[in-house]
Amino acid sequence: MKFIRTLLLFTMVSVSSVFAQKIEVRHGSADLGGGENPVSIIEIENATVKDIEKKWTSYIKDHKGKVTRQGDSWFHDNAVVKSIGKDTLDMWSTVKESGKSVVITLAVNSGGNFISNSGGKHKAVDRFLKDFASETHKHLIGLEIAAAQKLLNAKEKELRQLEKENKNLEKEIDEMKSKIADNERTIKQNNELLDKHKKELNDHDSNVKELEKRMKNLD
Protein backbone atom coordinates (compact mmCIF):
# COMPACT_ATOMS: atom_id res chain seq x y z
CA MET A 1 0.00 0.00 0.00
CA LYS A 2 2.81 2.41 0.91
CA PHE A 3 4.56 1.57 -2.38
CA ILE A 4 1.40 2.31 -4.41
CA ARG A 5 0.92 5.70 -2.73
CA THR A 6 4.61 6.56 -3.21
CA LEU A 7 4.32 5.64 -6.89
CA LEU A 8 1.22 7.83 -7.23
CA LEU A 9 3.00 10.78 -5.60
CA PHE A 10 6.02 10.28 -7.87
CA THR A 11 3.73 10.26 -10.92
CA MET A 12 2.03 13.49 -9.83
CA VAL A 13 5.35 15.26 -9.23
CA SER A 14 6.77 14.02 -12.54
CA VAL A 15 3.72 15.13 -14.51
CA SER A 16 3.67 18.52 -12.78
CA SER A 17 7.38 19.07 -13.50
CA VAL A 18 6.99 18.18 -17.18
CA PHE A 19 4.07 20.56 -17.69
CA ALA A 20 5.74 23.34 -15.72
CA GLN A 21 8.72 23.31 -18.10
CA LYS A 22 6.62 23.57 -21.28
CA ILE A 23 4.92 26.94 -20.78
CA GLU A 24 6.72 29.15 -23.28
CA VAL A 25 5.53 31.39 -26.11
CA ARG A 26 7.20 31.45 -29.53
CA HIS A 27 6.85 34.23 -32.09
CA GLY A 28 6.64 34.16 -35.87
CA SER A 29 4.29 34.92 -38.73
CA ALA A 30 1.34 33.06 -40.23
CA ASP A 31 -1.54 33.53 -42.64
CA LEU A 32 -4.03 34.78 -40.05
CA GLY A 33 -6.17 37.91 -40.00
CA GLY A 34 -6.33 38.40 -43.74
CA GLY A 35 -2.67 37.90 -44.65
CA GLU A 36 0.80 37.05 -43.36
CA ASN A 37 0.86 38.65 -39.93
CA PRO A 38 2.86 38.42 -36.68
CA VAL A 39 1.62 35.63 -34.42
CA SER A 40 2.27 34.21 -30.99
CA ILE A 41 2.46 30.44 -30.63
CA ILE A 42 2.16 28.12 -27.67
CA GLU A 43 2.40 24.33 -27.58
CA ILE A 44 0.60 22.07 -25.13
CA GLU A 45 1.97 18.54 -24.95
CA ASN A 46 0.06 15.30 -24.42
CA ALA A 47 -3.29 16.82 -25.33
CA THR A 48 -6.00 16.45 -27.98
CA VAL A 49 -7.40 19.14 -30.26
CA LYS A 50 -10.92 18.31 -29.13
CA ASP A 51 -10.15 19.01 -25.46
CA ILE A 52 -7.92 22.06 -26.04
CA GLU A 53 -10.18 23.71 -28.63
CA LYS A 54 -13.14 23.43 -26.28
CA LYS A 55 -11.16 25.04 -23.45
CA TRP A 56 -9.64 27.67 -25.75
CA THR A 57 -13.00 28.86 -27.14
CA SER A 58 -14.35 29.01 -23.62
CA TYR A 59 -11.28 31.03 -22.54
CA ILE A 60 -11.55 33.64 -25.29
CA LYS A 61 -15.33 33.94 -24.88
CA ASP A 62 -14.68 35.09 -21.30
CA HIS A 63 -13.12 38.28 -22.75
CA LYS A 64 -16.32 39.76 -24.14
CA GLY A 65 -16.74 40.43 -27.85
CA LYS A 66 -18.10 37.90 -30.33
CA VAL A 67 -16.41 34.61 -31.25
CA THR A 68 -17.12 32.96 -34.61
CA ARG A 69 -15.63 30.13 -36.63
CA GLN A 70 -13.99 31.08 -39.93
CA GLY A 71 -12.81 27.95 -41.74
CA ASP A 72 -10.16 26.32 -39.58
CA SER A 73 -9.66 29.43 -37.44
CA TRP A 74 -11.53 31.32 -34.76
CA PHE A 75 -12.25 35.07 -35.01
CA HIS A 76 -12.76 37.05 -31.83
CA ASP A 77 -14.29 40.42 -32.69
CA ASN A 78 -13.99 43.35 -30.24
CA ALA A 79 -12.37 41.31 -27.51
CA VAL A 80 -11.55 43.06 -24.25
CA VAL A 81 -8.29 41.98 -22.61
CA LYS A 82 -7.44 44.71 -20.11
CA SER A 83 -3.95 43.36 -19.50
CA ILE A 84 -3.12 43.94 -23.21
CA GLY A 85 -4.74 47.36 -23.48
CA LYS A 86 -7.83 49.48 -23.01
CA ASP A 87 -8.84 49.31 -26.68
CA THR A 88 -10.88 46.44 -28.06
CA LEU A 89 -8.96 43.78 -29.99
CA ASP A 90 -9.55 41.59 -33.00
CA MET A 91 -8.00 38.17 -32.57
CA TRP A 92 -7.61 35.23 -34.92
CA SER A 93 -6.48 31.84 -33.69
CA THR A 94 -6.05 28.24 -34.77
CA VAL A 95 -5.86 25.10 -32.67
CA LYS A 96 -4.02 22.32 -34.48
CA GLU A 97 -2.53 18.95 -33.71
CA SER A 98 1.24 18.50 -33.96
CA GLY A 99 2.33 14.97 -33.09
CA LYS A 100 1.29 14.38 -29.50
CA SER A 101 0.93 18.11 -28.91
CA VAL A 102 -1.61 20.80 -29.68
CA VAL A 103 -0.38 24.13 -31.05
CA ILE A 104 -2.31 27.37 -30.60
CA THR A 105 -1.41 30.18 -33.01
CA LEU A 106 -2.75 33.64 -32.15
CA ALA A 107 -2.80 36.87 -34.16
CA VAL A 108 -3.81 40.01 -32.28
CA ASN A 109 -4.84 43.29 -33.95
CA SER A 110 -4.92 46.39 -31.78
CA GLY A 111 -5.95 49.67 -33.42
CA GLY A 112 -5.24 48.38 -36.89
CA ASN A 113 -1.81 46.96 -36.07
CA PHE A 114 -0.90 43.35 -35.45
CA ILE A 115 1.09 42.97 -32.24
CA SER A 116 3.18 40.27 -30.60
CA ASN A 117 5.95 40.20 -28.03
CA SER A 118 8.66 39.36 -30.55
CA GLY A 119 10.33 42.71 -29.78
CA GLY A 120 9.62 42.56 -26.05
CA LYS A 121 7.04 45.35 -26.17
CA HIS A 122 3.85 43.36 -25.70
CA LYS A 123 4.48 40.97 -22.84
CA ALA A 124 0.76 40.96 -22.05
CA VAL A 125 0.09 39.01 -25.26
CA ASP A 126 2.48 36.30 -24.07
CA ARG A 127 0.85 36.42 -20.64
CA PHE A 128 -2.59 35.98 -22.23
CA LEU A 129 -1.41 32.70 -23.80
CA LYS A 130 0.61 31.60 -20.77
CA ASP A 131 -2.37 32.07 -18.47
CA PHE A 132 -4.41 29.82 -20.72
CA ALA A 133 -1.60 27.25 -20.89
CA SER A 134 -1.21 27.32 -17.12
CA GLU A 135 -4.94 26.72 -16.58
CA THR A 136 -4.90 23.95 -19.17
CA HIS A 137 -1.84 22.30 -17.66
CA LYS A 138 -3.53 22.29 -14.27
CA HIS A 139 -6.59 20.74 -15.88
CA LEU A 140 -4.49 18.04 -17.56
CA ILE A 141 -2.61 17.36 -14.32
CA GLY A 142 -5.97 17.06 -12.59
CA LEU A 143 -7.01 14.44 -15.14
CA GLU A 144 -3.74 12.56 -14.57
CA ILE A 145 -4.24 12.68 -10.81
CA ALA A 146 -7.85 11.52 -11.16
CA ALA A 147 -6.72 8.61 -13.33
CA ALA A 148 -3.93 7.74 -10.90
CA GLN A 149 -6.34 7.98 -7.97
CA LYS A 150 -8.80 5.73 -9.79
CA LEU A 151 -6.01 3.21 -10.36
CA LEU A 152 -4.96 3.50 -6.71
CA ASN A 153 -8.55 2.91 -5.55
CA ALA A 154 -8.79 -0.15 -7.80
CA LYS A 155 -5.50 -1.51 -6.46
CA GLU A 156 -6.58 -0.87 -2.88
CA LYS A 157 -9.87 -2.67 -3.55
CA GLU A 158 -7.98 -5.57 -5.13
CA LEU A 159 -5.64 -5.64 -2.14
CA ARG A 160 -8.55 -5.73 0.31
CA GLN A 161 -10.15 -8.55 -1.67
CA LEU A 162 -6.92 -10.54 -1.64
CA GLU A 163 -6.49 -9.95 2.09
CA LYS A 164 -10.08 -11.07 2.67
CA GLU A 165 -9.56 -14.15 0.51
CA ASN A 166 -6.36 -15.03 2.37
CA LYS A 167 -8.13 -14.57 5.69
CA ASN A 168 -10.94 -16.90 4.60
CA LEU A 169 -8.44 -19.47 3.34
CA GLU A 170 -6.49 -19.28 6.60
CA LYS A 171 -9.76 -19.81 8.47
CA GLU A 172 -10.53 -22.83 6.27
CA ILE A 173 -7.03 -24.20 6.91
CA ASP A 174 -7.47 -23.77 10.66
CA GLU A 175 -10.85 -25.50 10.46
CA MET A 176 -9.35 -28.34 8.39
CA LYS A 177 -6.44 -28.66 10.83
CA SER A 178 -8.92 -28.88 13.67
CA LYS A 179 -10.95 -31.45 11.72
CA ILE A 180 -7.80 -33.43 10.95
CA ALA A 181 -6.82 -33.37 14.62
CA ASP A 182 -10.31 -34.58 15.59
CA ASN A 183 -10.17 -37.34 12.97
CA GLU A 184 -6.72 -38.41 14.14
CA ARG A 185 -8.00 -38.65 17.72
CA THR A 186 -11.03 -40.63 16.53
CA ILE A 187 -8.81 -42.97 14.50
CA LYS A 188 -6.58 -43.50 17.51
CA GLN A 189 -9.58 -44.28 19.71
CA ASN A 190 -11.02 -46.61 17.07
CA ASN A 191 -7.68 -48.40 16.76
CA GLU A 192 -7.63 -48.89 20.51
CA LEU A 193 -11.18 -50.27 20.34
CA LEU A 194 -10.20 -52.50 17.42
CA ASP A 195 -7.30 -53.91 19.38
CA LYS A 196 -9.60 -54.49 22.34
CA HIS A 197 -12.26 -56.16 20.20
CA LYS A 198 -9.65 -58.31 18.45
CA LYS A 199 -8.37 -59.48 21.83
CA GLU A 200 -11.90 -60.20 23.02
CA LEU A 201 -12.62 -62.00 19.77
CA ASN A 202 -9.53 -64.15 20.17
CA ASP A 203 -10.48 -64.89 23.75
CA HIS A 204 -14.01 -65.93 22.70
CA ASP A 205 -12.61 -68.00 19.88
CA SER A 206 -10.31 -69.79 22.31
CA ASN A 207 -13.21 -70.41 24.68
CA VAL A 208 -15.35 -71.80 21.89
CA LYS A 209 -12.56 -74.10 20.80
CA GLU A 210 -11.99 -75.23 24.38
CA LEU A 211 -15.67 -75.99 24.85
CA GLU A 212 -15.79 -77.89 21.56
CA LYS A 213 -12.77 -79.91 22.66
CA ARG A 214 -14.34 -80.76 26.00
CA MET A 215 -17.54 -81.78 24.25
CA LYS A 216 -15.65 -84.01 21.92
CA ASN A 217 -13.88 -85.69 24.81
CA LEU A 218 -17.22 -86.52 26.36
CA ASP A 219 -17.94 -88.70 23.36
Note the pLDDT tens digit of each residue in 72-82.
Answer: 999 999 999 99
Q: Which CATH class is domain 2-147?
A: alpha beta
Residues 6+ apart with CB under 8 A from 45: 18, 19, 22, 100, 101
pLDDT (mean) for 190-211: 84
In this structure, how many other beta carbons lie within 10 angstroms of the beta carbon of residue 128? 26
Q: What is the pLDDT of residues 92-123, one digit of tens each?
A: 999 999 998 999 999 999 999 999 998 888 99
Choice among 10-14, 67-71, 109-113, 160-164 with the minimum mean pLDDT:
10-14
The pTM score is 0.65
181's enclosing H/E stretch is: helix 123-218
Burial class (CB in 10 A: 0-12, 13-18, 19+), 103: middle
- pLDDT for position 103: 96
Q: 210 pLDDT band (50/70/90 cuts)?
A: confident
Residues paired with residue 79 on neighbouring β-strands, in sequence order: 89
**Each residue of 146-156: pLDDT tens digit?**
988 999 899 99
Whether the per-residue pLDDT at 67 is higher than 50: the answer is: yes
* Domain boundaries defined on the chain: 2-147
Amino acid making up residue 86:
K
